[in-house]
């Protein structure tokens, strides 16, 4: 059973204490039940080293809790105070150009710095000991937005030293490393681990195996950093442990940090992400400038549901214009409500708006809140309150069964293809997201699957494009799988060391397919498919005993079948992806729709939701094939059907 | 009374002494009366430390003076010789990436370096003592083009140390600084001034208040640097002191340096600036590629007239193709004359061409002069001589009364919005210049006003878009003002510390308007106005008791009236700006025209000028509404009507 | 007599020794006769300092040689092992931003480092002593791809010290240097050579004479580096010495290195070069994406034939998709054969494919070979074998006589115009290549001439655009020349020190022409020619006694004649270049064609070749004016006519 709730991010340290009670009362009145605090407050908790000032936090928690709110308490480790640098002058991460990334904003630390890790353990322990059993503190957040501002990969001497230790542990001997990386190429062989540097600032590209190990190491450092805090917190609290992830971040393995936490959460800024992190062109961005991409939020909801093993939140929800994208328009009226309901539709336990009151100062002074700086209601507040009313006294919903479609998302593949795209436009997230959009356009519900998913039995269709190297667990799961699996393009194309597998891609005997040649395609170089649409960005020339079920206009195999497995020998463009995903679902026995651009459906055993992301009304009953539905859905419209 | 004169920049040290007399005679024959020399000659004045060689300069001044020319003598501080770096190895400015900006071109010094300032004082005193009373030296120039090549902001340790001292003087205590900057945000609080660094190379954006103080400090350093020289010169000469500014430079407060000087001047390169510093698109650049933007020169003429408190020159006038823009075409025949007359029309006392003879060597070998390298006439010389003939024996004109339109230009606002544009296209200069163009298209004459203008009484219309923070002086002037004032968008949006004012923008009670929300707009996201045109780049959602006199297509207030004040709640595109400026002038009782793109008018009590910037003839009598004028004006045409 | 042969690049160190015999046998079976090895194998030849392991190389050479193959042995100096950096920590080149370019890929050395040069001499001597008389080692390659990855210009302290020595040797006294560079400008005068730094990281552009000397020095360092190896090799072997150059590399004077070698070779990657190094627009790139630019390969064939004084190879020929261009499509079937035949048509003695078997690991794992990683035939192998069959038992062809058209290519001019383009689009290679394309479109055969060509007698037409400074030898040759010479634009525009010549450009009295003014043109600023087409990018205003034979639409001279000399006063666009080159050829008495885009001809005394670079059939008999030819040529088609 999921109990849906709303919340808000609040910074008591930004406001006079006298204002706290009124703020708390207004939150409760608006129907909010969660309030996240503390995650940037280190300089107020410990103004100088060892001088702890927790009394104000005691009072803030009490004030909020006494108003009926449940507190999420954040560890303040994303913002070490300035004095920390005096104690640990080498704690800064370095950028790819070899420059320290200095104090003056946030996330100014290197994940590999042992001294700073110890400081984080110290402050976490202090907070855990004091608030671990506090009845108002009902959840904990570790740090804040790992990886934000490109902070996973550090090129510092500290990182280099840690990398060498990591390599020694991984490879055992330098000879083994030379062999694994293929260092005989270009005489790159090392005589000892001490000689190994970081892969930046080389004359031309470094060995892709060097990069892959460096990315793997960097991800492991995030996991280890987070674990320092979770181990301490677990010893002092039974409240759930959460981290707030971001959108389209692939630099570390979220499944790995997720394993140490109880709930995954993410910070959902649909308009900022559309402007800043979308591969779509200007026309698409203009069409959705005030609504956000119709699939981007849903994708992350499904992803973090997997990262949280079913439990997930939106920790920060955009409530109005943000300050950090290239352009920052206001949401279309109704979108704050729509975004909130879409999160619930995908299983969120809580949606917390960022932030309560817009700050008049510092870096986020132009970031909207639920209140304006002069404490009046901002437009987002009314929409939040509307959702609270709509939840009413029935905020519970049944926990979800699995969807019928599983889509594999593998962080290590993102690292592999970032290292070796082989064509300017090849990006792993883009590929998986294109498949996700195709499935959503067909009206399907999707589970995101980690790359070591052991049990595929719940699924009728499993889709796994671009998985660089199969995990043994997934190979075994596929062998047992009786549904339809759509694999490729570029799946199984690498070993764990970025080599081409001895058996040649896709390196899966059951596919009876061999990738003989690959090519990346320039804009204007798309290759039409006989069934409609085209391959763009990437295509492969294949051979093997599998059945060719569709070809390209130049006569090569585009889609191959071998039993219940399908191999896709290229990157379908939008029309082709839409068609091929519908076809795969049909082969898997799943009914599909063909939804227009703005309209999306999310269906669970308990409810069906319809969302309109378009800025104009869209027809509903007709594309849904359901005459009981309204004929059309208004812009920013949400239509919920409670089943049974 | 202004006495109009022509002049030229000359480098006697570049040529054999035997050539000086002929050069001087040709200058005089061409009708030139001013000659600027010396500003890059330090290595010839002092080839090694203390070894002064001023005899050649004595003779150069005598030769020029004896030919009837009046000399502007420049201090050579923009080009310290190489040996200076041996004496002051840390005198270089550092770029934003943290690298010293080395010797080998010019402007290689940090404004904050005390040792170099002392050297500048020394050489200035030497020159002042020797030439302060020289009858041929009729004006002085300090340094050369402050800020050129992005040299105001330095990120050196020397700058950092000076910045800390400046902050201590400004804020008194570090607690006050923390409060002013809002450093509680992200735990950015400092324990002492010693901990404060420069705002570059942070992980993500630094605190905007940090940036604003750094920009304010950097401007102050330029002012202090310049003052070292003016104080010495004043003690030895009664000739006017001048600096030559550049186009579209906002990194320091020109009004502040101007206060220490007698005359403002600027270096006017219409074609280079069009290619290099224009926000307009390719079609506009192509249309004016050989003429320059029709408003850019006039804007700076009016700006520097304000900076010089009425007295200003063009110290360097483009005479042919330059060498430094992305593309360097030749001017349309007649444009050198047109540019010269337009400067006079706006009140210039002198227009000096850069340079006499094109140098065959070094960085500016491809920069045209009035002579070609082989000493033949270049095309610009004939046009200069034509103006000299046209000036004839009546070069005097009455000094100007104020115009009827005042347009506020505030350097601090440029710093504020460069720090926090909130949208990729928001630029302060671009906004003010768009308003200026709208006013010019209406045939209006404009005075640029500093942001602390105390007396607005001369004006029928005052326009002040994008003024980040009102000065107390301007608030008081507005309160007394009886004309029409057009304020906004984004005016009064900040405190002096980059915070949102407690009263909310536009922070002016008489406007009876509150900006509740702002948004930046993407290309393609313009919002139509009911009266025609649209808001692009920026728009605001406002409330308050003021009267809504125009709305956007989506129903929000676009223009509000409160008594004699108008608030503009967005950034008008070209058509809207043209319409709104005409409307504001009409409300202020000013008659307007609606001029085609190439045609511009400048009118003073004594004269009216018509200029054609188009590459084709434009109609004149019809748009001017004056049948006594010629029917049309030729390309590069100048039509002068002397009144009374 | 040229004996045409095929070959391949092979890396025995990448594969188990047990596989060598089969590989060798398959090479021989495919008709390959040359095999290049060893050039990246230093870490296997000397795993730790002084520990030489040459036995495997002995066996590899024996295996290959015994299979009937002839070995090209490379010195491994492009890839110093990691231990080399422990011995010479300062051996790395520095980039323009002042950062060392580290270990981890290749070419990580500074040409100026004396210690590394000594190491190169040592390993070269070891190899020369052991294999200089080996009967299987039939040619030697020095290093690999000098300049690749932008490695000629280094901004290291080591380079700076060497530059100062070079300057002292060149200029004698610092006073002479100051005079030559024009350092009086901006007070840039030096007091001693010790004060001179490198021209990077200056505040604004450094003196162009400073840059030109730095580029000249940098080129000289490559020549000196190469000579260390050639001198040692010559003492031990009589086999020809070769270096493998790259495409569109102008950073060093290939004629100068060529003088120390016996054969020039280059690495020919038509598809990678089209994507990465072409000035053409997207439509052109799309049209030729699988074939390569129709003239780029031919240009370099002709260039390296000149560099090799008649003897040249393709050392690396693209056999399929590469891995390093922005997009990496596969070649159109037949193109590997076409490229090979085109090399032979231009006089290649050998065409070696890169590489035998695609490596499954490291940086080039995605680079195709003649075999796939699993040792099956890749498509390129069949095309190579087809050429081998076509060569059959008649691989000999007569050595070439000179062509009738000579086109000057001058590396120093590339340096001059890179230093001072005066307009964004002015690039020397682009200019010369545009002329070359115009000549090829006319069906002409071309010899590339070095800028100090002493004898122009073989040519009916000599074309020399953009030659910055005439050499005395070329001046003399021109004076004796009785054919037609087409000079300009921008030829003779500089002295050797980047000054404007005292006589003014084009600095050639016989031309009776003076360039009075130049201008660079923006896109959209092209100036039509009365004869058709236009000048774009660049045009000049000229005067003088020469005859004006064509003008621009704005009435300036476009083409001038003075006796047998023609001066072109601008940069013709595509249509104008095609027309003007045909006209010049006609004036020189040479018959011409007007070939469509994909069709090209190469004609020698012994053979005429027709090539179709288009992706569709092109008419052949009609444009060739020869009814005996086939009516059309298929895509990737090669039609050879053996004469007599």
Q: What's the pLDDT tens digit per position in B271-326?
A: 999 999 999 999 999 999 999 999 999 999 999 999 999 999 999 999 999 999 99
Closest-approach residue (CA) in chain C for B361: C499
The beta-carbon neighbor of A104 closest among B188, B424, B518 is: B188
Contacts of C416 in chain B (CB under 8 A): none
Tokens at C64, concatenated = 């290959």
Contacts of C503 in chain B (CB under 8 A): 374
- Give B550's pLDDT tier (boundaries 50, 70, 90): very high
- Give B615's pLDDT tier (boundaries 50, 70, 90): very high
Size of interface A-B (CB pairs under 8 A): 170
Q: Give the neighbours of chain A: at least 3 Cβ pairs within 8 Å.
A: B, C
Round the average pLDDT of chain B to a whole number and report it.
97
Round the average pLDDT of chain C to a whole number and report it.
97
Does residue A40 contact residue B185 with C-beta atoms inside 8 Å? Answer: yes
- Phi-psi map region of B36: left, alpha, beta (phi>0 left; psi -120 to 50 alpha): beta
ipTM rounded to 2 decimals: 0.97
- Give A401's pLDDT tier (boundaries 50, 70, 90): confident
Contacts of A201 in chain C (CB under 8 A): 99-102
Contacts of A500 in chain C (CB under 8 A): 358, 360-361, 365, 373
Q: Give the neighbours of chain C: at least 3 Cβ pairs within 8 Å.
A: A, B
What pLDDT shows up at residue B280?
97
CB contact under 8 A, C522 and B151: no
Q: How many CB atoms lie within 10 A of CB A101?
A: 24
CB contact under 8 A, B182 and A285: no
3-state helix, strand and coil shares in percent for chain B, rounded to the nearest 5:
35, 20, 45
Mean predicted confidence (pLDDT) in A162-191 = 98
Contacts of A182 in chain C (CB under 8 A): 359-362, 365
CB contact under 8 A, B516 and A40: no
Does residue B65 contact residue B136 with C-beta atoms inside 8 Å? Answer: yes
CB contact under 8 A, A207 and C93: no
What pLDDT shows up at residue C400?
78
The beta-carbon neighbor of B14 closest among C184, C503, C504 is: C184
pLDDT (tens digit, 9 = 90+) per residue, B456-510? Answer: 999 999 999 999 999 999 999 999 999 999 999 999 999 999 999 999 999 999 9
pLDDT (tens digit, 9 = 90+) per residue, C376-401? Answer: 999 999 999 999 999 998 889 988 77
Give DSSP secondary structure letters for C458-481.
T-SEEEETT-SS--HHHHHHHHH-
Q: How many CB atoms lie within 10 A of CB C69?
A: 24
The beta-carbon neighbor of C149 closest among A97, A204, A541 is: A204
pLDDT (tens digit, 9 = 90+) per residue, B81-120? Answer: 999 999 999 999 999 999 999 999 999 999 999 999 999 9
Give the integer Cα–Cα distance in Å for B270 and B279: 14
State the best of A179, A519, A544, A555 to mutate against chain C, taking most chain C CBs within 10 Å.
A519
Contacts of B182 in chain A (CB under 8 A): 359-362, 365
Q: Is the pLDDT of residue B333 over 90?
A: yes
What pLDDT shows up at residue B504?
98
Does residue A329 contact residue B525 with C-beta atoms inside 8 Å? Answer: yes
What pLDDT shows up at residue B393?
85
Give the integer Cα–Cα distance in Å for A308 and A347: 11
CB contact under 8 A, A47 and B500: no
CB contact under 8 A, B521 and A321: no
Q: Please name which of A369, A387, A275 lies closest in space to residue A320, comparing C-alpha atoms.
A: A369
What pTM, to 2 d.p., does this model score?
Answer: 0.97
A316 labelled catalytic? yes
Q: Which residue in the block uniquely carries the two structure tokens 């001497």?
A: A157
Catalytic residue among C46, C275, C316, C540: C316
Local structure of C50: helix, strand or coil: coil
Mean predicted confidence (pLDDT) in C351-362 = 98
Does residue B261 contact residue B142 with C-beta atoms inside 8 Å? Answer: yes
State the best of A289, A362, A381 to mutate against chain B, taking most chain B CBs within 10 Å.
A362
A484-487 and A565-568 strand pairing: parallel
Contacts of A518 in chain C (CB under 8 A): 321, 366
Catalytic residue among C39, C46, C119, C145: C145
CB contact under 8 A, A541 and C99: no
pLDDT (tens digit, 9 = 90+) per residue, C196-226? Answer: 999 999 999 999 999 999 999 999 999 999 9
Give DSSP secondary structure letters for A174-217.
HHHHHHHHTTTGGG---SSGGG---STTBSSPPPHHHHHHHHHH
Closest-approach residue (CA) in chain C for A501: C360
Tally the residues of chain A: 644
pLDDT (tens digit, 9 = 90+) per residue, A185-237? Answer: 999 999 999 999 999 999 999 999 999 999 999 999 999 999 999 999 999 99
* Whole-number CA gyration radius for chain A: 25
Tokens at B579, concatenated = 């319409």
What pLDDT shows up at residue B401?
79
CB contact under 8 A, B372 and C516: yes
pLDDT (tens digit, 9 = 90+) per residue, C37-82? Answer: 999 999 999 999 999 999 999 999 999 999 999 999 999 999 999 9
State the best of A11, A123, A361, A379 to mutate against chain B, taking most chain B CBs within 10 Å.
A361
Does residue C292 contact residue C241 with C-beta atoms inside 8 Å? Answer: no
CB contact under 8 A, C108 and A203: yes
Does residue C358 contact residue C310 with C-beta atoms inside 8 Å? Answer: no
The beta-carbon neighbor of A363 closest among B200, B208, B501 is: B208
What pLDDT shows up at residue B394?
83
Does residue A76 contact residue A123 with C-beta atoms inside 8 Å? Answer: yes
Give the integer Cα–Cα distance in Å for B141 and B409: 24
CB contact under 8 A, A183 and C362: yes
Q: A407 to chain C nearest CA, in Å?
A: 27
Tally the residues of chain B: 644
Q: Is the pLDDT of residue C644 over 80?
A: no
pLDDT (tens digit, 9 = 90+) per residue, B173-205? Answer: 999 999 999 999 999 999 999 999 999 999 999
Catalytic residue among A39, A46, A119, A145: A145
DSSP-assigned beta bridge partners for residue B335: none
Q: Please name which of A79, A71, A75 lies closest in space to residue A36, comparing C-alpha atoms.
A: A71
Q: Helical H runs in B187-295?
A: 208-234, 254-258, 270-277, 282-287
Q: Is the pLDDT of residue B616 over 80?
A: yes
Quick one: which H or E segment has residue A229?
helix A208-234
Q: Helical H runs in C346-495?
A: 379-391, 411-419, 428-441, 472-480
Contacts of B82 in chain C (CB under 8 A): 188-191, 195
Local structure of A574: helix, strand or coil: helix
Does residue B474 contact residue B451 with C-beta atoms inside 8 Å? Answer: yes
Q: C242 to chain A nearest CA, in Å?
A: 20
CB contact under 8 A, A504 and C374: yes
The beta-carbon neighbor of C286 closest among A187, A501, A525 is: A525
State the best of C47, C334, C355, C362 to mutate against chain A, taking most chain A CBs within 10 Å.
C362
DSSP assigned state of B487: E
Mean predicted confidence (pLDDT) in C547-566 = 98
Tokens at B8, concatenated = 């030229």
């Amino acid at each position: 059973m999921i109990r849906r709730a709303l919340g808000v991010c609040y910074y008591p340290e930004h406001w006079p204490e006298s204002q706290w009670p009124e703020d708390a009362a207004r939150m409760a009145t608006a129907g909010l039940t969660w309030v996240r605090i503390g995650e940037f407050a280190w300089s107020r908790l410990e103004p100088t080293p060892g001088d702890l000032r927790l009394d104000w936090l005691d009072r803030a928690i009490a004030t909020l809790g006494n108003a009926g709110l449940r507190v999420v308490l954040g560890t303040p480790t994303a913002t070490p105070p300035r004095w920390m640098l005096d104690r640990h002058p080498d704690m800064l991460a370095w950028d790819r150009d070899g420059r320290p990334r200095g104090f003056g904003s946030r996330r100014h630390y290197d994940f590999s710095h042992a001294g700073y890790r110890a400081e984080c353990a110290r402050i976490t322990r202090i907070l855990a000991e004091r608030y671990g059993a506090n009845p108002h503190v009902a959840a904990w957040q570790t740090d804040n937005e790992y990886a934000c501002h490109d902070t996973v990969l550090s090129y510092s001497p500290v990182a280099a030293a840690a990398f060498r230790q990591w390599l020694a542990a991984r490879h055992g001997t330098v000879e083994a490393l030379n062999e694994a990386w293929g260092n005989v190429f270009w005489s790159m062989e090392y005589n000892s681990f001490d000689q190994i540097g970081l892969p930046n600032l080389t004359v031309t590209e470094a060995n892709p195996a060097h990069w892959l190990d460096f990315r793997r190491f960097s991800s492991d450092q995030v996991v280890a950093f987070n674990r320092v805090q979770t181990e301490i917190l677990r010893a002092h609290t039974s409240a759930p442990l959460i981290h707030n992830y971001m959108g389209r971040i692939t630099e570390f393995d979220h499944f790995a940090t997720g394993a140490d936490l109880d709930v995954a959460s993410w910070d959902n800024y649909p308009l900022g992400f559309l402007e800043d992190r979308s591969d779509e062109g200007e026309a698409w961005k203009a069409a959705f400038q005030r609504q956000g991409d119709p699939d981007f939020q849903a994708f992350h909801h499904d992803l973090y549901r997997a990262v949280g093993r079913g439990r997930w939140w939106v920790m920060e929800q955009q409530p109005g214009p943000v300050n950090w994208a290239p352009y920052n328009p206001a949401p279309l009226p109704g979108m704050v409500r729509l975004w909130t309901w879409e999160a619930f539709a995908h299983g969120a336990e809580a949606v917390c708006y960022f932030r309560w009151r817009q700050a008049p100062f510092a870096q986020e002074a132009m970031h909207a809140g639920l209140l304006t700086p002069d404490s009046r209601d901002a437009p987002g507040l009314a929409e939040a309150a509307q959702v609270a009313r709509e939840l009413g006294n029935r905020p519970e919903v049944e926990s979800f069964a699995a969807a019928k479609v599983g889509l594999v998302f593998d962080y290590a593949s993102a690292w592999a293809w970032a290292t070796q795209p082989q064509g300017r436009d090849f990006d792993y997230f883009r590929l998986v997201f294109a498949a996700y959009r195709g499935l959503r356009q067909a009206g399907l519900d999707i589970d995101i699957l980690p790359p070591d998913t052991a049990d595929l039995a719940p699924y009728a269709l499993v889709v796994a494009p671009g998985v660089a190297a199969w995990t043994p667990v997934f190979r075994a799961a596929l062998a047992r799988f009786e549904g339809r699996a759509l694999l490729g393009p570029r799946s199984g194309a690498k070993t764990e060391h970025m080599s081409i597998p001895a058996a040649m891609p896709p390196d899966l005997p059951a596919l009876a397919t061999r990738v003989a040649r690959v090519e990346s395609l320039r804009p204007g170089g798309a290759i039409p498919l006989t069934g409609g649409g085209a391959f763009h960005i990437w295509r492969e020339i294949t051979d093997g005993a599998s059945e060719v079920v569709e070809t390209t206009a130049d006569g090569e195999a585009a889609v191959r079948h071998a039993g219940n497995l399908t191999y896709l020998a290229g990157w379908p463009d939008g029309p082709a992806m839409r068609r091929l995903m519908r076809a795969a679902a049909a082969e898997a026995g799943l009914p599909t729709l063909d939804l227009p651009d703005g309209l999306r459906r999310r269906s669970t055993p308990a409810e069906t939701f319809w969302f309109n992301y378009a800025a104009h009304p869209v027809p509903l009953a007709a594309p849904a094939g359901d005459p009981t539905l309204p004929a059309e859905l208004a812009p920013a419209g949400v239509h919920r059907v409670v089943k049974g």
